[in-house]
Amino acid sequence: MISTASALPLETHPARLAAANWVRTAICILLLAAVVACLTLAFGRTGERIAVQLCVNVTAVVALGLFCGNTGIVSFGHGAFMALGAYLSGILTMPAGLQRTALPNLPDFLAAHELSVWLALPIVAIAGLCFAAVTGSAIARLAGASATIATLGLLIITHGIAVGAREITRGSQTFFGVPRVTDLTIALGAALVFIVIARLYRESRHGLFARAARDDPDAASALGISPRRTRFVSWCLSGALATVAGALYGHMLGAFSPASFYLSLVFAHVAMMIVGGMASVGGAVAGVMVVTLLQDTVRQFEGGAELLGFVFPEFFGLTTIALGLAILLVIWLRPQGLVGSFELGPGADAPFLRRIGRGTKPANDPEKVAETMLQARSLSKSFAGVRAVDDVSFDVPTGRITGLIGPNGAGKSTLVNLLTHQYDADAGKALINGTELTKVRREAVAGKGVSRSFQNLRLFRGLTGYENVLVGSLAAGRSRQLAAPVAIRELGDLDLGEVAGKTADALPYGARKRLEIARSLSQDPSILLLDEPAAGMNPAETDDLADRLVRTSEARGLGILLIDHDLKFVNRLSNWIVVMNRGEVIAQGLPEDIRTNPSVIEAYIGRGRTAAEAQFVPNKTTRVLTVGVDQ
């Protein structure tokens, strides 16, 4: 273990992490600039044309990835935003004389503006944001395949409207007269701005929340994060950027039709994102480079060509086939894409992040929490007619560790889900200082001072250990400057500095258990609900965790509701024990009272057995007795 003395000062870690993020952004920008320079220097005008196309594709795919990468939802609807941007910018910038000829029936509010592209783009972005807000209010309610299908429906509807609105779009005919002003300077500049915006969003509070909700919506909700809101924010920002990208695309083409923004374009952009890796901005940029160069190379052979004495016949559609094969090959060999989930540049497991010493404290140590009481009152819940929780009542005050025990199927985890409003109660209520938790939104429970862990690990697997805890700290309402030191404090106190930079799914089991507790503690709760925190741990890890929980409870004064099957573990820690069996509370009281309760003995070791047949041994290290059951 690295000592506190060797650890970096607390304020150094957030600063170094922010610097590493800017380095990753700079590397992504330099990579794009280098490829553009090589194309223009090596191939002249042809290379410049490819470079412009590449940069415009970067803007579109980065905008697409901002939503898809942060939410995990593949969108086919961004072609609708691009069509809106291209047509609106084309109308606003078209010469008035040409517009009267090409669009004689154009509505008056759109006619004869003849703006420069610099004045048109802000209007286009605002229009795209409004369109995204209207469509996102429905799409953000969905997740997974349902959301993907909804985005495809949006594309189809928009395409149909574009074909039908002949007075504005000329229908399925070519929309011409759009100034071709997207040159290499504008395209490259826009691509660089889009990269910076996407990177800033990814590492921002909203970006972290979106990625957390992507990995585990229920765990995110338990921290106070609304998955629906994160999807809505990502959709709106992504849609506004995609609309601007569509305007740039239209000004690159000069003439287009609704088909220009339909399935072929959308498929190409989704392919670029998947090939590079949709979970990172660097992946989007890399995917555009690879696929754009692949398309331009293969396109040379569609009309027939000769290579090394071999004559290729005409084969139209070869570009689409090559694109499909590229996707299949990448999915087969590297499912996360060429770049993967991490950004290009310094790894998330940077050496300075590992130098978090034990006992690190923030600038302002949290005071002991105010006196708080979590109360269950006549809580009941049934599933398919089976009474999982039946009229359960007990209290969990601050300053006390309350154990909740019972055989498998007793209803303990269901009860925790009722207390945190993950489930709706059939009857009864949960209260904290008079506030009824069963009536507030599940995302609002954490804000009332209640934090929890889960029976089955519910970490954000695509985020690092540090990011997992940082999300919890940010969700408590802190600014980034205050949240980062708190996250580092919890990582240090639970000896997670060595693995803080690794993704959660790459950690050993014991570290993942401690990480989930660190994430809960980062919210500085009044009441902490721990659902089987020692499950799967070896005896040494269990003893270590017990010591940490005792120190944490005494140092912070918080109340802990501890649910576990390990009776020795629970009794070592608990001042008060509640026993459940078949959904009911069968006993509650001091550990020395529980150990001789006939109902408890019957629930664990069978009818007709006595306390003398169980091993009840005083624990030398704590003030309570330990119950050991002879299995």
Q: What does the mean pLDDT of the chain come to?
A: 86
pLDDT confidence tier of residue 20, bands split at 50, 70 and 90: confident
> Residue 5: inside a domain, yes or no?
no
User: How does pLDDT run across 547-586, given as a tens digit for each residue?
Assistant: 989 888 888 889 999 998 878 888 889 999 999 998 999 9
Last residue within a domain, chosen from 261, 291, 325 = 261
Query: Are 466 and 547 part of one and the same domain?
Result: no
Query: For the whole model, what pTM was predicted?
Result: 0.87
pLDDT at 539: 87
Task: Give the domain range for residue 516.
Answer: 459-524
pLDDT at 300: 75
Centroid of chain to Cα 570:
34
The 3-state secondary structure of 480-548, one letter per residue: HHHHHHHHHHHHHHCCCHHHCCCEHHHCCHHHHHHHHHHHHHCCCCCEEEEECCCCCCCHHHHHHHHHH
- Asked if 491 contacts 466 with a C-beta cutoff of 8 angstroms, the reply is yes
pLDDT at 353: 61
Closest CA to 382 of 394, 374, 390: 390
Closest CA to 241 of 116, 90, 68, 111: 68
3 state DSSP class of 203: helix
Between residues 307 and 411, which one has the greater pLDDT? 411
pLDDT at 565: 80
Q: Which percentage of the chain shows pLDDT scores above 90?
A: 56
Least-confidence region, from 46-50, 165-169, 337-341, 366-370: 366-370
Q: Which residues contact 249 (CB under 8 A, 6 or more apart)?
A: 56, 60, 82, 85, 86, 182
> Residue 417: inside a domain, yes or no?
yes
Query: Are 517 and 530 part of one and the same domain?
Result: no
Average pLDDT over residues 539-545: 88
pLDDT at 344: 67
What residues does 403 pair with on adjacent strands? 562, 577
Last residue within a domain, chosen from 468, 489, 524 = 524
Last residue within a domain, chosen from 481, 500, 524 = 524
Least-confidence region, from 71-75, 321-325, 394-398, 469-473: 321-325
3 state DSSP class of 278: coil
Least-confidence region, from 89-98, 269-278, 367-376, 430-439: 367-376
The helix (H) or strand (E) run that includes residue 626 is strand 625-628
pLDDT at 459: 94
Q: 184-203 and 281-302 helices cross at what angle (nearest 10)?
A: 140
3 state DSSP class of 390: strand
| Whole-number Å distance between alpha carbons of 543 and 259 | 65
Query: Are 574 and 441 part of one and the same domain?
Result: yes
Query: Are 472 and 390 part of one and the same domain?
Result: no
Query: Are 167 and 31 part of one and the same domain?
Result: yes
| Whole-number Å distance between alpha carbons of 189 and 25 | 15
Query: Are 416 and 470 part of one and the same domain?
Result: no
Least-confidence region, from 37-51, 341-355, 415-429, 595-609: 341-355
Q: Which percentage of the chain shows pLDDT scores above 70?
A: 87
Judge whether residue 621 has pLDDT over 50. no
Judge whether residue 10 has pLDDT over 70. no
Our count of domains for the chain comes to 3
The amino acid occupying position 591 is: P
pLDDT at 312: 64
The amino acid occupying position 368 is: K
Query: Are 129 and 253 part of one and the same domain?
Result: yes
> Residue 274: inside a domain, yes or no?
no
| Whole-number Å distance between alpha carbons of 469 and 490 | 8
Output the six-digit token pair for 106: 């154009």
Least-confidence region, from 44-53, 325-334, 389-398: 325-334
pLDDT at 396: 94
Tokens 């540049």 belong to 345
User: How does pLDDT run across 499-525, given as a tens digit for each residue?
Assistant: 888 889 889 988 999 999 999 999 999
3 state DSSP class of 311: strand
| Whole-number Å distance between alpha carbons of 215 and 199 | 19
Output the six-digit token pair for 26: 């700079």
> What CATH number has the domain bearing residue 429?
3.40.50.300
Closest CA to 629 of 603, 619, 621: 603
